[in-house]
Each structure stands twice: as C-alpha cells, then as structure tokens.
Amino acid sequence: MSAIQIQGLRPLKGTVGIQGSKNAVLPMMAASLLADGVTVIRHVPEIEDVFSMMGILESLGCKCSLEKGVLTVDTKASSGHRIPEEYVGKMRSSCLLLGPLLAERGEAVTYYPGGCVIGKRPIDLHLYALKRLGASFFEAGGMILARADRLRGARIRFSYPSVGATENAILAAVTAEGETEIENCAREPEIMELCRFLAAMGARIRGAGKSRIAVEGVRRLYPAEFFLGGDRICAGTYLAAAAMTAGDVTVMGAEPEDLREPVYILRRMGADISIKEREKEIRLRMDQRPGPVSLCTGPYPGFPTDLQSVFLAAASVACGESRITETVFEARFAAAALLRQFGARIRTEGQTAVALGTYPLRPGIADAPDLRGGAALVLAGLAADGLSIIGSCRHIRRGYEDLCRDLGSLGAEICWL
C-alpha cells in the first residue's frame, strides 16, 4: 500500500515539464498489433496503465520494453488473441484491443473491462461499431468471444461521441475492406493523436478532430516511430494546484489549444494566464484566492470530465459558491464526500456539486477513490493548514508518472510514504 504525505500552505512556483499523454498512448499501443515489426513511441509516461497494457501485449506474444520514456513493441512473434482477465480488471482501455485483434487475427477473447469505478461506463458502443464492420459477439459468464472472417467498411453513427468507441472503430477500420464513415464521433485531442500515429503507419484517414471521420482501408500497416504529445489532464491538474496555492507556475509540453476550456475557467476564477503557443508553454499567476465558478463537463471541446474532481478541489477554496455539473459519468462525485474531510463545504444536488469555498482547508486523511479523485485530494492537502495523508495511491500511479516529484519541484512539501 502506498500513500502520499503533504504539508500544506506552500505556494507553488517554478516550471514543470508535462509527461506524455496517458489517454493517447494506450490506443497507440493497441494499434501496434496492426503492424508486423517493431513500433517505437517516445515520451511515454511510466505509469501503471502503460505497464498493464504492456502486460497484455506480452501475453499476446509481443516483446515490450520501456526505458527512459522510449517504448518499443515488437509484434513479430505475436499470435495470441486471448486477453487475460487479470489485466482486463485493472484498466478499461483493454477493450481497445478488440478492434486490432479482430482486424489481424479474426478473433478475440476478453472480459468486461475495469479501471476507475466512476459509473457504468458500458462498452455497448464499442460492440455496436465492431458489429457494423462485420464482427460477431458471444457472451458467457462475463467473457466476451468475438469473431470476424473479414472486416468490411461500413457507416457507423454513434448515439454519443464516445472516445473509446471512436478509437476502436478507427483501429478496426484502417485495414478493413473498403471505406468506413464514422459519424458523431469523439473529437478529443487524443483521437487526433491516434490518427496521426496511424497515418505514420500507412493508414488513410480524413477528418480527424471533426465529428465525421472517413477511413479508407488499406491492406496492411507498417511499424512506425512517433513522439507522444503532453498530457493535457496532467497539465490542467498542475495549473489548478497553482491557482489554489497563490502560485506562479509554468507548464511546458502540453498543447495550449487542448486546454482552452480549463484555461478559460481558470481565468474566470481570477488567474493571470499567459500562453506561448509555439513553445507549448502556459504560465499561471495567482495572487489571491480563486473566485467562484460554474462549469459543466462534456465531450471535447467542452470541459473535460477528467478534470472535474480537480476543479472541484479548487472550487472548495474559492471566495463564494461554485456549481460543477457532471454530464459524462454519473458516479464521479466520489471525491466530493472525501473533500469534506478536509473541511470543504460541498453538497451534491443530483449531478451537480455545490461548493461554498473556505480557506485554508484543514488537514485530512483519506483514501484516493479513483485516479482523478486521488489527485483532487492531493490538491486539497496542498491548501490545508497542516499535515495530510492520502492513501490507496495506486490509483494515482495509473495516470501520473510521479505527482510528488512534479509538485515537489514547484515547492510543495510532499513525498511518497
């Protein structure tokens, strides 16, 4: 069991580099199965979800290594199609392997995925897209058996712009026979990153970043080298931490355009933010308590649900009443109850959390409920007058390479226990 210890009320100051994107690299790792040879991805974060995906790929016969941010995946000896249940239970992104396995091997065996417990998160849209391309599915005792003699292009229209389902549809369509049209697809930056990666492998994709994507199937893809962009959720976390602690922090390596909505919200809360687009640099200065804010999460370009818990922590120290509405995951207010242990005055009204800010917060002891909720508790500790301890930090390690290292470099008194 791991825990984080924080001595609060230390203003954050300085510059921090942002790790590679967790939500972008996982579908790229799944895509490596579509090419015979060695794929290399640079600037990869050393986080638990990446190690879990490496474990799945190795169980399928791949050889994987991750050293100093350089990930290599050698698929030459890969022939398996069964995803071990032990890995599926750890991470939801394991379902992204369905499309590549069906495309390459014509069959796949998996289970309903795990990950953070933040709502129902069904995979029905994933299965719908793959069925449209010609796959058949059979379920027995929580196991999913998938088969496809030959995937063929089709028209896919999602009832909701699911990121994972969009990725699975693209991964299956790039080598399918004919052309696939995907409508009402997700527009998140990670979709664009995946499409750029697949294009480097030889895929033909039009419309990445728009609500309609067209994929012209090719006979085969080839191994590629790729440099991973910065993690926008990690960058947003550190900017919110700076706002909560009257800090002056510059984050380097994340695409400012990808953070347009969080930056807009932080400015409404009183932060002075300057941006250098070409240098991928965002500087936040705050010399007062944050102001209150109202926001609603939604698919990109809306406010990211992955930053909802973090901004709820920021709202808990604001001057006034804030309202944060969650529209993506129905159970993502687990952090709200735990933030109350730090003195936060938060109540929930259905899918809206109402925070009446108070400062400073009081020291607390709590277990991280999930990945982003755990980060929110760490930020609460930064704004607490005393020593706080956050337990069950395995969740945090799923998405942050080293939260203590990064915040410590900015002046936080924080360490792993």
At 195-245, the pLDDT tens digits run: 999 999 999 999 999 999 999 999 999 999 999 999 999 999 999 999 999
Return the pLDDT at 114.
54
Q: Average model confidence (pLDDT) for the chain? A: 95
- What distance separates the 2 farthest-apart alpha carbons in the chain? 62
Q: What is the pLDDT of residues 284-340, one digit of tens each?
A: 999 999 999 999 999 999 999 999 999 999 999 999 999 999 998 766 688 999 999
Q: What is the pLDDT of residue 330?
A: 65
pLDDT in tens, 100-150: 999 999 999 998 775 444 344 478 999 999 999 999 999 888 789 999 999
pTM of the model: 0.95
- CA dist 336 and 346 (Å) reads 7
Q: Which of 116, 185, 195, 393 is catalytic?
A: 116
Model confidence pLDDT, tens digit, residues 334-378? 899 999 999 999 999 999 999 999 999 999 999 999 999 999 999
Give residues with Cβ within 8 angstroms of 122, minimum separation 6.
Answer: none
Q: Which two tokens stand for residue 91?
A: 């991470």
CA 285 to chain CA mean position, Å: 26
DSSP collapsed to 3 states, the chain: CCEEEEECCCCCEEEEECCECHHHHHHHHHHHHHECCEEEEECCCCCHHHHHHHHHHHHCCCEEEEECCEEEEECCCCCCCECCHHHHCCCHHHHHHHHHHHHHHCEEEEECCCCCCCCCCCCHHHHHHHHHCCCEEEEECCEEEEECCCCECCEEECCCCCHHHHHHHHHHHCCCECEEEEECCCCCHHHHHHHHHHHHCCCEEECCCCCEEEEECCCCECCCEEECCECHHHHHHHHHHHHHCCCEEEEECCCHHHHHHHHHHHHHCCCEEEEECCCCEEEEECCCCCCCCEEEECCCCCECHHHHHHHHHHHCCCCCEEEEECCCCCCCCHHHHHHHHHCCEEEEECCEEEEECCCCECCCEEECCCHHHHHHHHHHHHCECCEEEEECCHHHHCCCCCHHHHHHHCCCEEEEC
Which residue is listed with tokens 């999460």?
Answer: 297
Q: Which of 154, 157, 198, 156 is nearest to 179 (CA)?
A: 154
Q: Is 319 an active-site residue? A: no
Binding residues: 22-23, 92, 121-125, 306, 328
**Is the pLDDT assigned to residue 88 strictly greater than 90?**
no
Q: Which residues contact 276 (CB under 8 A, 6 or more apart)?
A: 256
β-strand partners of 354: 323, 347
> CA–CA distance from 339 to each of 346, 408, 417 (Å)?
8, 22, 21
The CA radius of gyration of the chain, in Å to the nearest whole number, is 21
Mean pLDDT on 379-406: 97
The answer to whether 343 touches 367, Cβ cutoff 8 Å, is no
CA–CA separation, 133 and 148 (whole Å):
9
Higher-confidence position of 143 and 10: 10
Q: Is the dihedral of CA 128, 134, 135, 136 positive or negative?
A: positive
Q: Which residues are annotated as a binding site for UDP-N-acetyl-alpha-D-glucosamine?
A: 92, 121-125, 306, 328
Half-sphere exposure of 248 (CA within 13 A, CB side): 3
Q: Angle at the Cα of 280 (from 274 to 286), degrees rounded to 5?
A: 30
Are 387 and 10 in contact, with CB atoms under 8 Å apart? no
List of domains in the chain: 3-18+230-416 (3.65.10.10), 22-227 (3.65.10.10)
Whole-number percent of the chain with pLDDT over 70 = 97
pLDDT in tens, 18-74: 999 999 999 999 999 999 999 999 999 999 999 999 999 999 999 999 999 999 999
Indicate the annotated binding residues for phosphoenolpyruvate: 22-23
pLDDT band at 1 (very low <50, low <70, confident <90, very high): low
